[in-house]
Amino acid sequence: MGSVQAPKTLDPKGFSRLYINGEYVKSSSDRYLTLKNPKDNSLVSENVPIANEHDVDLAVKHAEAAFCGPWSKMTALARSGCLLKLADLLQDHLLAILTLDSLTSGNPVSLIPTRETTYIRNCLLYYSGWTDKLKGDYFPADDGFVKLVRQEPLGVCAAINPFNAPVATLILKAAPCLATGNVLIVKPSEKTPLGSLAMGAMFEKAGFPPGVIQVLSGDGSTGALLAKHMKIRKISFTGSVSTGKAIQVAAAQSNLKRVTLELGGKSPAIIFEDANIENALTWTVGAILARSGQVCVSATRVYVQESVAEEFIAEYTKRIAAAANDLGDPQDASVKLGPLVDETQFRRVRAIVERGKTEATLLVGGTRHGETGCYIEPAVFINPDIDAEVYKNEIFGPVAVIKTFRDEDDVLRLANDTEFGLMSGVFTKDISRALRVSSLLDTGVVGVNCVSYMNMQAPFGGRKQSGIGREFGEYALRAYTEPKTVLINMNA
């Protein structure tokens, strides 16, 4: 897809049912989500169900039947075929599904033909090639026993997904989960459930047996039911640190289900005096503006060496200020930046900015953009107190802070002084410095002359309170399997 085309229209009010066992079924719940378009707070839907305990139990029952039944009997090649067919089907349907999601996420439809479509398709193609390649081990019978180790699927898994990229995250979790022979129950964010509900039928059309993928809309109460369910063997969560902690507790108190947590970030970007300044500006500005700052890997802490600080800060601030002109209707294909996801997030970010004015110097932005909707102009603070909220906490909005530094030791102390450890970036032309600093940064991913970037082939995840486990690449596959050792007595 090279350009945004007029999509087939999907009626948001048409998604008033849960996707269970290959069909859309009425929920037994009497509670519903109210969804609004953040561009003007107009009503999008108020009939999306909040799945309850009965709905969750029903989905788990069908998931178990699928795992033990037709899905377990399909060959690895057949699983590859399903993933490949899904990728082909989405060529025709993904534009409409992502446009539907835009109604409540505020994500500009201009992202669809590039960031969204490419990411989703590449993920499916990548994992379709892995279904028959996750090998085990053989150890010789030097002691009279042959030792075989094989990787086996865990069984019924669950995914609890964030609001910022709901369909992309669904595919990111579903592809390795299904490639290894598991089944998956998906709970999208209560803020952005529509595209995920629409995706359910795509899996059936691609040849996945009923029950292999199921989608339950709901809020935190639905997620809690999944986290503590005794028949669910793995849960993958992307979201806030506080919710991630609650999920880990529920998993431990129930059946010790496996947990992968991809949580918050406060990513540092370090610009040394020898860096290509234009390249550093391109990456750091883009990293705070993507999805209006609602990205876990956003480069929200920018450290600039004192000798180039004046030049860098002037141009960085200029570009951030100009970005306010790109804010607009997310359903307009010419618009680059949309609103925050909802009124709650808008009020939260605005409050943090207001408090930040007492802790640091606000250089630009932070004000409401326009008279309606959840638009905030991208903001830049400079030299905040080390205990400032804008400096220490994840904001999840287009708000960056800049601090200057003297040397490597100084900036490493600043960059690592946080409970977050997801992503970082080092900008320098000195390869020795790049290798040295990247090894000392306490984050799961480090970019050299780039930041806020992920690659499907390499593991992605955080340290400290930014999460547990890894996604992407072969590492994600092993998160959905358990090694089984078989010992063969050769002297029997």
Where are the CATH 3.40.605.10 domain residues in the chain?
A: 12-263+467-484
- Tell me the catalytic residues: 262
Assigned token pair, 292: 């209006």
CB atoms within 10 A of CB 271: 30
The rounded distance, in Å, linking the Cα atoms of 242 and 239 is 9
Task: Give the separation between CA 225 and CA 218, rounded to whole angstroms.
Answer: 10
* Per-residue pLDDT tens digits for 93-142: 999 999 999 999 999 999 998 888 999 999 999 999 999 999 999 999 99
Tell me, what's the pLDDT at 414?
97
Rounded CA separation 126/175 (Å):
9
- Return the number of other C-beta atoms located less than 10 Å from residue 472's C-beta: 21
The answer to whether 379 and 359 are in contact (CB under 8 A) is no
Q: Where in the chain is the domain with CATH 3.40.309.10?
A: 268-455
> In this predicted structure, what is the pLDDT of residue 9?
82
Strands (E) in 13-52, as ranges, are: 18-20, 23-25, 32-37, 42-49
Q: How far is CA 131 from the centre of its chain?
A: 23
465: its two tokens: 């309170």
Taking all residues of the chain, what is their mean pLDDT, rounded to a whole number?
Answer: 96
Give the model's confidence band at 312: pLDDT under 50 very low, under 70 low, under 90 confident, else very high.
very high
Which pLDDT score, from 0 to 100, does residue 99 have?
Answer: 96
Three-state DSSP at 61 gives helix
- Residue 163, both tokens: 């609001």
Q: What is the CATH number of domain 12-263+467-484?
A: 3.40.605.10
Rg (CA), the chain: 23
Q: Which residues contact 449 (CB under 8 A, 6 or more apart)?
A: 275, 276, 279, 280, 283, 425, 426, 427, 428, 434
The pLDDT assigned to 8 comes to: 66
The structure's pTM equals 0.95
163 in Cβ contact with 131 (< 8 Å):
no
For residues 216 and 29, the answer to whether their CB atoms sit within 8 Å is no
The answer to whether residue 171 scores a pLDDT higher than 70 is yes
Question: Tokens 């009497």, residue?
Answer: 30
| CATH superfamily entry for domain 268-455 | Aldehyde Dehydrogenase; Chain A, domain 2 (3.40.309.10)
Residues facing 488 on adjacent strands = 146
Q: What is the pLDDT of residue 212?
A: 98
Cα(47)–Cα(49) distance, integer angstroms: 6
- pLDDT (tens digit per residue) in 225-252: 999 999 999 999 999 999 999 999 999 9
| Neighbour-count burial of 221, counting CB atoms closer than 10 A to its CB (0-12 exposed, 13-18 middle, 19+ buried) | middle
pLDDT tens by residue, 6-44: 446 899 999 999 999 999 999 999 999 999 999 999 999
Mean pLDDT value across residues 160-185: 97
Q: What is the pLDDT of residue 29?
A: 97
Residue 2 has pLDDT above 90, yes or no: no
Asked whether the beta carbons of 394 and 409 are under 8 A apart, the reply is no
Identify whether the C-beta of residue 320 lies closer than 8 Å to the C-beta of residue 400: yes
- For position 377, what pLDDT does the model report? 98
Sorting pLDDT into bands at 50, 70 and 90, what band is 5?
very low
